[in-house]
Amino acid sequence: MAIVKQRDSNLELLRIVAMSMIVIYHIFVHGISPVYVGSHSILTVWYVPFIFGVNLFILISGYYGIRLSWKSFLSLMWIIVFYKLFHLIVDTTCLGIHHAWWEWIAKPLSGPVSGGGWFVDIYILLMLVSPMLNKLLNGCCNGDLLKYSGIVLLLDMGYGFILNKHFDSYGYSLIHFVCLYIIGYGLKSYQNVGVKDSWKGYIFVVGCLLLVNLLFPDNYWIAKLSNSYASPFIVLGAIFLFLAFARTNITHHPSINFVAASMFPVYLIHEGGNVSKWYYVTVEEWWTTLNIPTFVLYTAGFIIALFVLTIAVDQLRKKCWSLISCKLFNR
């Protein structure tokens, strides 16, 4: 099977949904959780439907295939450097945080090494090993794909998630990303599940997680099944949701693809630097002072503003990269 070249709007829409899930999940984990009073199993019940975002992103990468080149690698590095500069500018102009002159050089240049938390670091590693993975997978039949998926799943879920040996049991590891990449690649040829059945599968997984959290509150293994990216339930739920969108027939829609192209920058803006700290402190304040309907309204407006701002700022990033890439690659 060749690497998919066409970016279909159904999966680009899923990319937008996945980033929305990540932002909402982070609001619960970083914004509400530190000041939440009561059983954290109840809090888990609220955020379980949104925990699938990270896994969805890597499944999409595996489905399309990462095509590593100097241009694609440097493009990713430029995104990270650009938003490091963005955070420095916002610190100075909006948050009243001043940085020494050397930080304006050191922080952007160190961005590709410590760009945006664990996700960025591991995604860069996945990008670097993708040529080897693509070569291996392109020569595979479906039986071999199942075998490789099974081996990596055994390492990721069995040795990592259950035994917590050598691999991070919450999925913050390259082996987990490789596992999802292989599964995403294999889903290109898996046509046996329709849209309705995929949605039923996703709802069933979410329903099971909600039920066990209510029946067994504050249980270690139930909590781990519900908030670990390497949890069999979280992986399976992401697969069902991916299939639901992959099997949905949406014609090519430029506006969807345009918005989807700025989803990674949304992550870099909301989950990095002092902007992130201000963002979650604000959410904490709203949670403790507002009633729930007002909190939901304020937070929804906050998320929409985040997406609109990022998409606007990202046009400058794209324009700058167009000029840089023309100089570097003579195009």
Residue 168 has pLDDT above 80, yes or no: no
The whole-number average pLDDT for the span 99-106 is: 76
pLDDT computed for residue 117 by the predictor: 76
φ/ψ (deg, to 5) at 251: -65, 160
Question: Is the pLDDT at 109 greater than 80, yes or no?
Answer: no
121 contacts: CB under 8 Å, gap ≥ 6: 114, 115
Q: Report residue 95's pLDDT band, with 50, 70 and 90 as the boundaries.
A: confident
Cut 0.85: pTM above it? yes
The predicted pLDDT at position 112 comes to 55
Lowest mean pLDDT among 49-53, 111-115, 144-148, 166-170: 111-115
Question: What pLDDT sits at residue 99?
Answer: 78
Of 138-147, 222-231, 242-251, 322-331, the one with minimum mean pLDDT is: 138-147
pLDDT confidence of residue 18: 97
Q: Reduce the secondary structure of the chain to three states and give it as a string.
A: CCCCCCCCHHHHHHHHHHHHHHHHHHHHHHHHHHHCCCCHHHHHHHHHHHCCHHHHHHHHHHHHCCCCCHHHHHHHHHHHHHHHHHHHHHHHHCCCCCCCCCHHHHHHHHCCCCCCCHHHHHHHHHHHHHHHHHHHHHCCCHHHHHHHHHHHHHHHHHHHHHCCCCCCCCCCCHHHHHHHHHHHHHHHHCCCCCHHHHHHHHHHHHHHHHHHHHHCCCCHHHHHHHHCCCCHHHHHHHHHHHHHHHCCCCCCCHHHHHHHCCHHHHHHHHCCHHHHHHHHHHHHHHHHHCCHHHHHHHHHHHHHHHHHHHHHHHHHHHHHHHHHHHHHHCC
- Residue 115, pLDDT > 60, answer no
Q: Please, what is the average pLDDT of the chain?
A: 86
Q: What is the pLDDT of residues 220-274, one digit of tens each?
A: 888 888 888 989 899 999 999 999 998 888 878 899 999 999 999 999 998 877 8
Q: What angle do CA 145, 161, 42 make, to 5 degrees?
A: 120
The percent of residues in the chain predicted with pLDDT above 90, rounded, is 47
